[in-house]
Amino acid sequence: MKEEHISFSFGENWKNFLGQVDEDDIQRAKKDILDWLGPDAVKGKRVIDIGSGSGIHSFIFYSMGAKELISFDYDINSVEATKRMWERAGKPDNWKVMQGSALDVNFIKSLGEFDVVYSWGVLHHTGEMWKAIENSCLTINAQGTYWISIYKKGPRYEADLSLKRRYNKASALGKRMMVSRNILRRMIRLLRKGKNPFKWNKKVGRGMHVYNDIIDWYGGLPYEVASKEEIVQFCSPKGLSLEMAHEAGEGGCSVYLFKKK
């Protein structure tokens, strides 16, 4: 892909998010993990969080009894955000927080293999999505679980990509105006439905908040997409069998749970 002009930091957005996180957010994020993996999926297991972002999901993997946990992110602000959650957990020795890239195959290989490989909404932001997926597959052990989320492909891709590029090129004021217009549209929709328009910033799945999702969506470059068929066709030759999937609407993140056979 061509060089992108990127002025957005996922990590700065995650730091902002952590300033608002409460126990309810953590429990909602934990419910998502339980719904997909079950209650004992990480207990006594080796787990890796590729692109750990806020660190909230790594925190939950640790609290669910992971034997060893590695969290890494390319964005130093995300590394710092994850370290906050590591500190909240008591700075455990069996949870390591690192800076690294999913595109660095030597770094990836140095980490070894894991029972649970988790990368939610990350690999499509590397600029080389298929290489990132290829590298992440190297970390799955012989009977491992591979849980990833990738933006769904659709006809609106070029328009969405243009929007993200416009946001990243905008001034600070321009960015605020784009976000404000998005929020205003949400408020108007609520008002038309007879609901309180000031409750637009609701808590959503995986422990997230609408405001941070808006920022994440506008700023998220690089930006690539894939269909379910493409993901399955890419992963199947690697001995990965699709166990569960949730296909999002276009512009959303589809979720895939594979098992190594």
192 and 137 together in one domain: no
pLDDT above 90 covers a percentage of the chain that reads: 87
Tell me which amino acid residue 5 is.
H
Contact 203, 209 (CB under 8 A): yes
Using the Cα atoms of residue 244, residue 250, residue 252 and residue 253 in order, give the sign of their dihedral: positive
102 and 125 together in one domain: yes
> Is residue 1 situated within a structural domain?
no
138 and 200 together in one domain: no
196 and 215 together in one domain: yes
Asked whether the predicted pLDDT for residue 2 surpasses 90, the reply is no
Residue 209: what pLDDT? 84
> Is residue 4 situated within a structural domain?
no
138-196 tens-digit pLDDT:
999 999 999 999 999 999 999 999 999 999 999 999 999 999 999 999 999 999 999 99
What DSSP string describes 92-148?
-TTEEEEE--TT-HHHHHHT--EEEEEEES-GGGSS-HHHHHHHHHTTEEEEEEEEE
Residue 207: what pLDDT? 59
59 and 165 together in one domain: no
Contact 219, 196 (CB under 8 A): no
> Is residue 2 situated within a structural domain?
no
pLDDT above 70 covers a percentage of the chain that reads: 97
Instruction: Kindly state the average pLDDT of the residues 24-43.
Output: 93
> Is residue 209 situated within a structural domain?
yes
> Is residue 5 situated within a structural domain?
no
Average pLDDT of the chain, as a whole number: 94
> Is residue 239 situated within a structural domain?
yes
Asked whether the predicted pLDDT for residue 7 surpasses 60, the reply is yes
Helix (H, G, I), strand (E, B) or coil at 50: strand
Contact 136, 49 (CB under 8 A): no
Number of domains composing the chain:
2
Rounded Cα distance between 10 and 15, Å, is 9
CA neighbor of 256 nearest in space, from 237, 231, 226:
231
Which of 156-170, 194-208, 246-260 is the least confident region? Answer: 194-208
Using the Cα atoms of residue 41, residue 46, residue 50 and residue 56 in order, give the sign of their dihedral: positive
Give 66's DSSP letter. B
> Is residue 237 situated within a structural domain?
yes
80-92 tens-digit pLDDT:
999 999 999 999 9
Angle formed by the axes of helices 23-37 and 56-63, nearest 10°: 70
Can you give the residue range of the structural domain that contains 82? 10-154+224-260
74-129 tens-digit pLDDT:
999 999 999 999 999 999 999 999 999 999 999 999 999 999 999 999 999 999 99
163 and 174 together in one domain: yes
What DSSP string describes 192-245?
HTTS-GGG-S-B-GGG-BHHHHHHHHHH--S---B-HHHHHHHHGGGTEEEEEE
228 and 111 together in one domain: yes
Residue 1: what pLDDT? 45
- Tell me the two tokens of residue 197: 């328009």
Residue 3: what pLDDT? 64
> Is residue 18 situated within a structural domain?
yes
253 and 130 together in one domain: yes
Query: Could you tell me the pTM of the whole model?
Result: 0.92
In the chain, what is the straight-line distance between the N-terminal and C-terminal CA atoms, in Å?
A: 33
